[in-house]
Amino acid sequence: MTPLAIAHRAGNSLAGLHAANTLGVDVIECDVHEHRGRLEVRHLKTAGPLPFLWDRWELASASAPRLGLRELLEADRHGTTFMLDLKGRRSTAARSIARLLHEVARHEPVLVCGRYWPSVELVAELPYARAVLSARNRVELARLRQRVTEEPAVHGVSIHLSLLDEKLVAGLLHHVEVVMTWPVNDEAALDVALGLGANGIISDEPDVLAQLLARRT
């Protein structure tokens, strides 16, 4: 399988969506949160009653406009394959996402990923949604290997690059179609990921994705 070029977080803004589509990537990832009954796409997290959103090195006002998942999907004019990274552990959010996809996604293929697999699997009950189970640490990886071996109806997995080796990737590809990995944000990491056999490259960097696309031609 030709390695997929996956633009990490590019779907968290309309500008990022446009830029990634212009580049010609295969998949555009966005982070989906449910906040006060609304589905939002953003990487930053809420801080309870405090008036800001935050990440490790970033703060933003909680009152700033936030892009909704509906708005993102309705803005797409390119037949984009989205990968929805589900944040949180609320089954109500997964049900809301499934309803929204049924309403506006035109039944085009969509990838659904996350570290809380019950939510991923709930959304993936839609016939055009494909489950991608994510693992960030060795405990999650052990569970993931058991899951795809015993219940193989999973489209793909997404695993931190530091956890991969050639034997693991080859074994997983007996059970799933795609082994994605991140972070792949420079040429050295791209070489490592491809050398291990990963066929889904998740990157924040347009230059790295452009390199991957150029190598495929």
Write the CA distances from 117 to 45, 86, 143, 159, 168, integer angstroms: 20, 9, 11, 14, 20
**pLDDT tens profile 22-44:** 999 999 999 998 877 889 987 64
Domains of the chain: 4-216 (3.20.20.190)
- Distance (Å, rounded) from C-alpha 187 to C-alpha 74? 34
Q: Name the region of 103 (left: φ>0; alpha: ψ -120 to 50; beta: rest).
A: alpha
pLDDT in tens, 174-183: 999 999 999 9
Give the model confidence (pLDDT) of 89-128 as tens digits: 777 889 999 999 988 866 789 999 999 999 999 999 999 9
Cα separation, 59 vs 143, whole angstroms: 34
How far is Cα 121 from Cα 68, in angstroms, rounded to an integer?
Answer: 22
Which pLDDT score is estimated for 64? 52
